[in-house]
Structure 1
Amino acid sequence: MNLVLIQHKLKQLNWPMVIFTMLVFSLLIKLGFWQIERAFEKEQRQQRIKTLSQRNALSLEQILALKGLQDGINDLPIEVSGNFDADKVFLLDNQPDKGRLGYRVYQIIESNGAAILVNLGWVQGSIDRSVLPEILPVSGQHTMTGHVREIEVGIQLQAQNFTDSNWPLRVQQIEIDKFSQLINKKLLPFVVYLDKKESIGYKKNWQPIVMPPEKHRGYAFQWFSLALAWISLMIWAAIKMSKKDPS
């Protein structure tokens, strides 16, 4: 095939469709690699959690001293003592457990002048969305162990508005800054998730890693398969069109 014929073939290409095809292909490949990266991150966190689980629980002062280090404080074991505020209860909505919808219960504990949000566990909700579960708040002095979790606020379709707050308060996301404004008290920038052995609170069903690495790899395989199917389909379509137009 000489240069003139090649140039002629190139001019016959539907360039908008070629560009569109490559953009979709590149996006699918990118999504596949992103899932592989997520799997790697989850494996690293699993190893970190396994290592940290063998350490003794740290005090609140030790946790605060470690904040700012490269590895951060996420998943560190902690032992904290303080008094619970029984008047302020947060109910995190849309929390499933074995097919049942419910809430995660959060309360504030004050320890050495610091206010900390504590995840006390899961309770089942009512089919009637207007009915909140009956909660017996934790009160008084307690010493407990758990793990530190730094909360990342996800995408919200509508911002949470707490101007008219009734307790217990149903929330869609944990937002430390907004909660601090609501209670007129600065909360520390993390949540303590109680260990399953703790008797206070409710059902301890939380998982530090919701989606395991294997699932991310499965999604990566799906994206790569879609990319291969897409590019194969477009090549087949291009060949078929060229046969119809042999000029």
Structure 2
Amino acid sequence: MARGGVGQYSQPPRRRCFRPGLGPSVAVFLLLPLLVGLGAWQLARAEEKRVMLAADARQQALPPQPLEQVLQGAAPGGSRVRLEGRFDADHALLLDNRTRDGRPGVELLQPFHDAASQRWVLVNRGWLPWTDRRVPVAFDTPPGPQALTVDLYRPPGQVLELRQVAGEGWPRLVNRVDAPALWTALGRDGVPLEARLEGGPAAYRVGWPTVSLGPETHVGYAVQWFAMAAALLALYCYLGIRRAREVVDEPQPVPL
């Protein structure tokens, strides 16, 4: 039996729930897939680099082939080639803005006439330091017949272009290489690819990397993107739980 007078009823405890708010929810909805996608893309790039390095290792293990035999293949880029002939000492290209160990320099490219195929090849003989641009780059050309081993090189995803930087004479300073343009200018039948010289008496400083960034670098980038995604998700959860507790802990009026 209820007693007379005005009774007091306690409000039932409110259930705690996740309350992150609209703004943080929209931000996480937009940023989290982006961060995860960037991490996955870096992992895919790392796998691509592993495939490239493995293919290069297999190619380097093969003996060099005659030039004409290699050119008859579907994709001569990356192939090892054996050349026998002479350098053209009168026409040389200096590929500018090439740095090694923090030192400025150039790469020396010279036409080479292969006696077996009777074709010209633009051979990159390697890197030379050039610290004082007021002084011409010093190099020499090996005289007489030469036997070379080179790697035919095609930059991935680039259109090669010959651009003159300074001077009309020879050697000519350029910032990109376009072998076909050089053969057209000289009126010669040449291979439309750059050939990078392997070590030997005619080589300067060689040793070009197969890839600019190794797989481990891409994996490191992927870890950073995934860590940012995890931090964003953790912050979102913390914010939602904290706001829910603030709502629960607010003093509630007791109805009379």
Shorter-chain TM-score bucket reads: 0.7 to 0.9
SS at match of 1:118: strand
Contact 1:151 1:191 in 2 (8 A): no
Q: Which has the higher strand share?
A: 1
1:57-112 Cα shifts (integer Å, max 9, x gaps): 1110111111x2xxx33332210123322222122222222232222111111223
1:208-232 per-position Cα deviation (integer Å, ceiling 9, x unaligned): 2343222221122122222333444
Question: What is aligned with 1:149?
Answer: 153
Find the structure with the greater CA-based Rg: 2
Match of 2:66 in 1: 59
CA distance in 1, matches of 2:129, 2:166: 26
Following superposition, the deviation at residue 202 of structure 1 comes to: 1.0
**What secondary structure does 2:41 align onto?**
helix
**Partner amino acid for 1:124?**
P
Structure 2 Cα separation of the partners of residues 21 and 56 of structure 1: 55
TM-score by length of 1: 0.74
1:134 matches 2:134: no
Tell me if structure 1 keeps the 8 A contact 2:121–2:191: yes
| 1:119 aligns to 2:124 (yes or no) | yes
Matched, 1:77 2:80: yes
Distance 1:226 1:64, change over 3 A: same
Deviations 1:102-137 (A, max 9, x none): 2211111122342221110111111x3454422223
Aligned mates of 1:131, 1:233 — CA distance in 2: 59
Q: For residue 215 of structure 2, what is the aligned residue in structure 1?
A: 213
SS at match of 1:40: helix
Equivalent residues of 1:78, 1:148 under 8 A apart: yes
Which amino acid is the alignment partner of residue 138 of structure 2? E
Whether 2:62 is the aligned partner of 1:90: answer: no
Q: Does the C-alpha gap of structure 1 residues 191 and 97 become closer, same or farther in structure 2, counting only changes over 3 Å? A: same
Deviation of residue 154 (structure 1)?
A: 4.8
**Structure 2, unpaired ranges of 5+:** 1-18, 249-256
Which secondary structure state, in structure 1, belongs to the residue aligned with residue 177 of structure 2?
A: coil
Q: Which has the higher contact order (CA 8 A, sep 6+)?
A: 2
| Cα deviation 1:142-176 (Å, max 9, x = unaligned) | 221122221246599xx935695332222222233
Contact 1:88 1:107 in 2 (8 A): yes
Q: 8 Å contact 1:89–1:137 — kept in the other structure?
A: no
Question: Residue type matched to 1:145 in 2?
Answer: T
Q: Could you tell me which residue of structure 2 aligns to residue 34 of structure 1?
A: 41
